[in-house]
Chain A
Amino acid sequence: MSKQIKSSIKIGSGAGYSGDRLDPALELMKRGDLDYICFEGLAERTIALAQKSKMADPSKGYNELLTYRMEQLLPLAHKNKIKVITNMGAANPSAAKMAVAGQAEKLRLKGLKIAAVLGDDIYGNIKTYMDLPILETGRPLASLKGKILSANAYLGYGGIVEALVNEADIIITGRVADPSIFLAPMVFEFGWNMNQIEKLGIGTLVGHLLECAGQVTGGYFADPGKKEVPELWNLGFPYVQIDRSGQGYVSKLDGTGGLVTRATCTEQLLYEIHDPRHYITPDCVADFSNVEFNEIEKDKVSFTGATAKQPTDTYKVSVGYRNGYLGEGQMSYGGTNGLQRALLAKEVVQKRLARLPFPIEELRFDLIGINALLDQGLPSGSPIEVRLRVAGKTGTAQQAQRLANEVETLYTNGPAGGGGASKNVEEIISIASILVPKKDIDISIEYLNI
C-alpha cells in the first residue's frame, strides 16, 4: 500500500447537527475540490433516543436521515473521490454501515470501502461504574433514579485514522467528540501524533470551527442593522484548507450566501467553550487562548495561535436515563385585554393542576412574547397577542397528558377568546456524564467492500 503524500488538504463541513440542511453540503462536494467531508450529527441525548429505537429493532438506531443523505451524497463522494466521515451511526454504526452499503448498491456504485468504528458503546459494562461521580452533580452514578438506557464514550480520532489507514472511503462512527471527526484526516494525512501536541491543538481548533457547519459562515449570526449577512437564505457551508505545518484558513464557496470574517470565527471559537486554555477533548487539552484570526481575502480567514497539552487518561461518557415525562400545553389570547385573559387562564390552570392526584415537578407558566425566555416582569402596555405556555414534569405519560389537557380544555372552560391550542407529551431522556479510564475501552472497526 502506498499513500500519495499530500502537502495540504481540504476538509468540508457537511452538517452541524443531526437535522441540518443537506444542499450546502452537496454544493461543497460538487464544487469544493474537497478531500474530505465530515458530517456531525449527534447531540448529547440523540444517542440515548437512538438506543431506544435499536432496542425496538436491532437494525435501527442510527440517524434517521442517514439513508436519505447517503442517497444524495454517495454519487458525489464516489465521482469526486471525497472521503466521508460521520458520527451518524449513533447507537448502531454497524447497522448504519449496512444501510450505507444498501444505498450504494441501489445507486450501482462499486469500489467503495465502508467502515464502522465501534467501541464507544459501554452500556454492557455500566454496572462497573456505578460508584463513579456524576460530573454534573458530584453524586455517584448509582444515585440516578431513572433506568439507564445508554452509555457512550466520546472517542477521539484513533478509530477513524485506523479506518483511513485501511483505505476506507466512508467512515461511520457512534459517539466521537465533534472536533475529532475533523482532526482525524489531518492526523492521517500529515502523520501528526502525540509528540507534536501543538499540531493536535491546531487540528482541534479546525474541528471546533467546522463542527457546527454554517455557524462559522454566517449562520446563527445575522442581526439586521448591526450584523448583516449577505444572502443568508443561500448560506454556504465552510471548508478548511490546511497544510502539514498547521497553517490554514476557513472559507466557503464563491456564489454561496453568508460570510467568513474574524467576527464569525470568533463567535464560533468561543461557542460552547469554557476556559479557552483548557478545552478538553479525547485527543488533547487544547489551548485556544492565543488564537488570532486574520482576514486574508474576502470570506477567507486564516487562524494562528492554537496549541495543546497532553490529553487526560479518561473518556467522558454520556449516560442516558429515563427522567419522567414532559407535559406541555399552549393557548393564545389576543385583542383587547388579551394579557389579562391570559393571566386569568394561568390562574385557572394553576388551581386545576394543584388538585390533580399526582406530583408535578418544575411546573412553569410562561407568557410567550413576554416572559418565556427571560422574566422581566409584565409589560406596562397591552400586547396585541400573548401565548400561555404551561409545562411540567410528571412520572407517567398519562399524567403528562392530564397536564396538557388542562390547557386545551381552556377552550370551553376558561376565559373568553382563547385560540390555537397545542399540546405535547414526551418522555424525558436526560444525560449524566462520568469519566471512564481510557484503558477500559477497546476500539474495533468493521469493514464492508462493495
Chain B
Amino acid sequence: MKLWDIAHARTGDKGNISNISLIVHDLRDFALIEEKVTAEAVKNWYQDLVKGQVIRYELPQLGALNFVMYDALGGGVTSSTALDKHGKTLGAYLLEMPL
C-alpha cells in the first residue's frame, strides 16, 4: 500500500518554503498517517531537495497533516531556475510513499 491509496495532497509555496497538505479520504485512516508520516520521514523522503527543516502540523478533525518544508524551492518561484518553480508537483510525489 502507498499513501495514494488512502490520502490526497495539495502543495503550495511561499517564497522558498513549500507546504504540502496530506489528507486522508477516510478519517479512520488518520491514526495511520499520523504514526507513519512523521516530519522526519518526509524530510528523508525528499532527501537533498529539502535543505531546511520540516515541521508538521496536525488537524485531526479534518484528517489532515500539514508539512512545512523550509529551503525547499531553490530560492522560490521568483528566483529558481527549475522547471516547476513553485514546486507544485512535490505533493503528488509524497503520495508514492509506501506504508
Contacts and interface: CB of A to CB of B under 8 A. Distances in A.
Interface in B34-69: 46, 49, 55, 57, 59, 61-64, 66, 68
A261 to B, nearest CB: 11
Interface stretch (A108-116, A264-272, A349-357): A264-272
Interface of B: 4, 8-10, 12-17, 19, 21, 23, 25, 46, 49, 55, 57, 59, 61-64, 66, 68, 74-84, 89-90, 93
Contacts of B83: 366, 368, 372-373, 389, 391
Interface stretch (A183-191, A340-348, A427-435): A427-435
B64 A266 contact: yes
A221 B92 CA distance: 11
B19 A223 contact: no
A44 interface: yes
A364 interface: yes
A311 interface: no
Given A266-B64, A290-B61, A428-B79, A272 B12 contact: yes
B12 to A, nearest CB: 3
A263 B66 contact: no
Contacts, number: 119
Interface string A294-314: 000000000001000000000
Given A269-B62, A276-B57, A291-B62, A374 B93 contact: yes
B15 A431 contact: yes
Contacts of B16: 136
Interface in A364-405: 364, 366, 368, 372-375, 389, 391-393
B24 to A, nearest CB: 10
Give chain B's interface secondary structure class: mixed
A293 B23 CA distance: 13
A289 B59 contact: yes
Nearest to A220: B10
Given A276-B57, A428-B79, 18 more contacts: A136-B16, A223-B8, A226-B8, A266-B64, A267-B9, A270-B59, A271-B10, A272-B12, A272-B19, A276-B66, A291-B62, A368-B83, A372-B82, A372-B83, A374-B90, A391-B81, A429-B78, A430-B79
A271 to B, nearest CB: 5
A136 B84 CA distance: 20
A323 interface: yes
Contacts of B14: 272, 274
A276 B59 contact: yes
A374 B83 CA distance: 10
Contact of A326 (B15, B62, B81): B81
A446 interface: no
Interface string A248-290: 0000000000000011001111111111110000000000011
B18 to A, nearest CB: 10
A292 B8 contact: no
27 contacts: A44-B78, A136-B16, A221-B10, A262-B62, A266-B64, A267-B21, A268-B10, A269-B62, A270-B10, A270-B21, A272-B12, A272-B19, A274-B17, A274-B55, A275-B55, A275-B57, A276-B66, A277-B57, A328-B81, A362-B75, A362-B81, A363-B81, A366-B82, A372-B84, A374-B46, A392-B81, A431-B76
B42 to A, nearest CB: 13
Interface string A236-249: 00000000000000
Nearest to A324: B79
A223 B8 CA distance: 9
Contacts of A391: 81-83
Interface in A315-331: 323, 326, 328
Given A290-B61, A291-B62, A292-B62, A364 B81 contact: yes
Nearest to A372: B83
Contacts of B15: 135-136, 431, 433
Interface string A105-132: 0000000000000000000000000000
A139 B55 CA distance: 23
Closest 9 CB pairs of A and B: A272-B12, A270-B21, A267-B10, A391-B81, A430-B79, A430-B78, A362-B81, A373-B89, A431-B78
